[in-house]
Amino acid sequence: MFLLTFMFMISMLISLLLIGLSSLFGKKTFVDVEKSTPFECGFDPKNSPRVPFSIRFFLIAIIFLIFDIEISILLPMGIVSNSFDPLSWMLVGGAFLFLVTLGLYYEWYDKTLEWIS
């Protein structure tokens, strides 16, 4: 037990030493207003460089990720189909597909899938 505690203390000491050395000798950055502004061939930009995205884009991206994860959950069901009896396999798969379809209908009803509102 003593050896484990000693090794833990040594590893913590080395970690803290490396963190301290990196903050001491690391690159110092000073925020300069001129360097942080956008640069277009020597001229000031005409428009704002940060155009806000539509929240619809992010909602559709989240929906895509959810259905992508759903596919990764459904794919192993074909592999385990031989290890379960067909009735329970169909019930679990059907319930999962029913819940996903119910979520899709809710998003459709809530008009989340419409790009222009």
pLDDT tens digits in sequence order for the chain, 117 residues long: 889 899 999 999 999 999 999 888 887 777 777 666 666 566 666 666 666 777 777 777 888 888 888 888 888 888 887 888 889 888 988 998 898 889 888 888 888 777 765
Structure token pair of residue 100 = 């996903």
Kindly report the pTM of this predicted structure: 0.47
**Residue 115: closest CA among 56, 58, 66:** 56
User: For residues 81 and 75, what is the distance between their CA atoms, to the nearest angstrom?
Assistant: 11
Name the H helices within 1-117: 2-25, 33-36, 55-79, 86-109
